């Protein structure tokens, strides 16, 4: 129990040096650039670093309306393709209706719409067996009613997609360790530590970012269309300066076909622009559209707002282009982030908003440091007074335990929260508890008449089972907290889990190594305990 081979000693020493090396950046000035020193430090959570807290809600009503519109469009195209005469095709609150004029075509129309239902089911729900809608027939009046299961699945997928797109947009801001959590069926909890511009975050999340490219309708001017009548194939949209544009409803290329978007500068004017690139399908569609419409203006539309309307001077065949819109550098960067991240499936509304200043976080850090230092000093004094030389060895291991926790948090890039600091303080107590159990066992064995070497060996051997039981039960509780808890609770669970592992290692390995080397070298006749 007290014998350590040379290989084990080297391994233990190497582990200590490596983890201490990982923890080193946390004790240095952030501006110091020392060669060969890692630059990863512990990430501070929202309560320590400050930042933004947002509770978002997905607009499920928009999802339902888009679903209804899709069904109506699919019915129209299907019936026209198969030359079935119909009338009164319209949307309902939760579905659609259509009247089949010829009685002999009703059964064929029903079969086609049923096939449409199955096709949508396969594409959207990957064969999960969820019916898109129920179909009823009353003398040729066909009514389609969207099923509750279909809408639930649609909303679930929209929520999952929204979380992923939010993560991509926030990553584009360059912040670290954002917390994005699902809350119920349509809400998202977002915490972004260290963000110094909350309004920029809200602007990024407040846009659906549905981009499309359309032709400008030049048959009449936009102002004339507003005064008289807007052509059925077109609609009036506005730019950021509230200038009206008459734009075709038909979309030439959707923003879903973008493969990349980067902010840059125009080579001629040196003004900020957004350079974009389509995928293969989008590039071909864009090439066809620009080839057919040379010398005509086309509109770049983002969330029903015209951001640019350049004239096509020549066919654009390379699958890439440039968006000019009088942007600032920050606006160009944000637009590039939006386009790269993709469009949200539905708008997001902010239900709750909180901004935590860095000053409050700094106060929390100082309070946590004071609590940790006071607890540490008191524990070190208690151990030293109670167990003398052995207590001094335990104090060395206890100090290493704190360094180990910081080093592992830095390595994992885990987020330290205020409850996490509480977990570190609790870990100090657990490490002390392990040493107390071991030393009391050693003292008990020594008082029973055993030699110093035998007492130490027997004490460690008998204490092992007790320490393992205590640590394993606490570890189980910590793991449960991590998987079932949210936010700060997870932060507490992370530090507690790491602390349990490191406290066992330092108490049962490092302290035992130091004591065994002292026993082998000094061969004392009495134990200083």
Q: What is the band of 118 on the pLDDT scale with cuts at 50, 70, 90? A: low
Q: What tens digit of pLDDT does each residue of 427-441 get?
A: 888 888 888 899 999
| Range list for CATH 3.30.1360.200 in the chain | 210-323
Q: Give the DSSP H/E element, type plus range, for residue 267.
A: none
Q: What tens digit of pLDDT does each residue of 378-404 get?
A: 888 988 898 889 999 999 998 999 899
Give the confidence band of 364 by pLDDT, cuts at 50, 70, 90: low
- Predicted local distance difference test score (pLDDT) of residue 126: 38
At a CB cut-off of 8 Å and minimum separation 6, what does 199 contact?
none
The arithmetic mean of pLDDT across residues 284-313, rounded, is 90
Q: Name the pLDDT band for 487 (thresholds 50, 70, 90).
A: low
- Biggest alpha carbon distance in the chain? 110
Residue ranges, comma separated, of all CATH 1.20.1640.10 domains in the chain are 6-45+359-522
Other CB atoms within a 10 A radius of the CB of residue 403 amount to: 19
pLDDT at 120: 45
Gyration radius of the chain's alpha carbons: 34
Q: Is 71 exposed, middle or buried (0-12, 13-18, 19+ CB in 10 A)?
A: buried
Indicate the average pLDDT of the chain.
85
Binned at pLDDT 50, 70 and 90, residue 358 comes out as low
- pLDDT for 100 equals 93
d(CA 93, CA 411): 53
Q: Give 233's Cβ-side CA count (13 Å radius).
A: 10
Six token digits for residue 370: 């004071």
Structural tokens at position 118: 């199955």
- Give the pLDDT confidence score for residue 122 in this predicted structure: 41
Distance of CA 301 to the CA centre of its chain: 28
Q: By percentage, how much of the chain surpasses pLDDT 70?
A: 92
Closest CA to 213 of 251, 245, 249, 258: 251
**445-460: pLDDT as tens digits:** 999 889 988 999 999 9
CATH number of 6-45+359-522: 1.20.1640.10
What is the CATH architecture of 63-147? 2-Layer Sandwich (3.30)
Q: What share of the chain in percent tops pLDDT 90?
A: 27
Q: pLDDT for 147-202, tens place per residue?
A: 888 888 888 888 998 998 888 888 877 766 677 888 888 999 888 877 767 787 88
pTM of the model: 0.65
Task: List where CATH 3.30.980 sits in the chain.
Answer: 63-147
Q: Could you tell me which residue, 120 or 117, shows the higher pLDDT?
A: 117
Mean pLDDT for the stretch of residues 60-72: 89
- Which segment of 6-10, 128-132, 385-389 scores lowest on mean pLDDT? 128-132
Instruction: Give the β-pairing of 253-254 and 211-215.
Output: antiparallel
CATH topology of domain 210-323: Gyrase A; domain 2 (3.30.1360)
Could you list the beta-strand ranges (E) of 359-419: 415-416
């Amino acid at each position: 129990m007290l014998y350590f081979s040379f290989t084990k000693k080297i391994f233990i020493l190497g582990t200590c040096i490596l983890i201490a090396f990982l923890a080193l950046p946390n004790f240095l000035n952030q501006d110091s650039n020392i060669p060969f020193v890692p630059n990863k430090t512990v990430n501070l959570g929202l309560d320590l670093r400050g930042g933004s807290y947002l509770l978002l809600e997905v607009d499920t009503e928009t999802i339902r309306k888009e679903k209804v519109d899709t069904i109506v469009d699919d019915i129209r195209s299907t019936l026209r393709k198969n030359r079935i005469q119909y009338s009164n095709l319209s949307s309902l609150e939760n579905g659609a209706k259509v009247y089949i004029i010829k009685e002999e075509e009703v059964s064929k129309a029903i079969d086609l719409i049923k096939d449409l239902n199955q096709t949508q089911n396969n594409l959207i729900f990957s064969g999960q067996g969820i019916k898109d809608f129920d179909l009823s027939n009353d003398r040729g009046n066909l009514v389609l009613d969207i099923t509750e299961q279909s809408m639930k699945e649609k909303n679930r997928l929209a929520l999952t997609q929204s979380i992923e797109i939010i993560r991509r947009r926030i990553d584009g801001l360059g912040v670290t360790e954002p917390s994005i959590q699902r809350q119920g069926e349509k809400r998202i909890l977002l915490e972004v530590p260290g963000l110094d511009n909350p309004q920029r975050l809200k602007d990024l999340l407040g846009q659906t970012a549905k981009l499309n490219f359309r032709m400008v309708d030049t048959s009449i001017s936009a102002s004339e269309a507003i005064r008289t009548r807007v052509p059925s194939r077109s609609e009036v949209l506005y730019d950021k300066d509230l200038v009206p544009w008459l734009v075709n409803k038909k979309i030439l290329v959707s923003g879903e076909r973008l493969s990349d978007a980067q902010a840059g500068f125009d080579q001629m004017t040196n003004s900020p622009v957004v350079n974009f690139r389509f995928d293969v399908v989008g590039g071909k569609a864009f090439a066809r559209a620009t080839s057919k419409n040379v010398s005509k203006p086309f509109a770049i539309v983002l969330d029903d707002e015209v951001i640019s309307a350049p004239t096509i001077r020549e066919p654009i065949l390379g699958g890439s282009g440039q968006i000019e819109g009088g942007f600032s550098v920050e606006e160009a960067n944000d637009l590039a982030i939006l386009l790269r991240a993709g469009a949200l499936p539905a708008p997001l509304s902010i239900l709750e908003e909180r901004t935590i200043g860095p000053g409050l976080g700094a106060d929390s850090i100082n309070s946590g440091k004071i609590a940790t230092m006071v607890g540490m000093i008191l524990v070190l004094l208690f151990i030293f007074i109670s167990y003398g030389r052995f207590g001094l060895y335990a104090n060395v291991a206890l100090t290493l335990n704190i360094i180990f926790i910081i080093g592992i948090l830095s390595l994992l890039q885990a987020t330290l929260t205020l409850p996490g600091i509480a977990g570190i303080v609790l870990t100090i107590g657990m490490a002390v508890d392990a040493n107390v159990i071991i030393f009391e066992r050693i003292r008990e064995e020594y008082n029973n008449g055993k030699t110093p070497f035998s007492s130490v060996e027997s004490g460690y051997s008998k204490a092992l089972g007790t320490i393992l039981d205590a640590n394993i039960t606490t570890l189980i509780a910590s793991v449960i907290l991590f998987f079932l808890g949210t936010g700060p609770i997870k932060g507490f669970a992370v530090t507690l889990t790491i602390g349990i592992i490191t406290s066992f290692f330092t108490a049962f390995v490092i302290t035992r190594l130091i004591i065994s080397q002292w026993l082998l070298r000094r061969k004392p006749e009495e134990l200083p305990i």
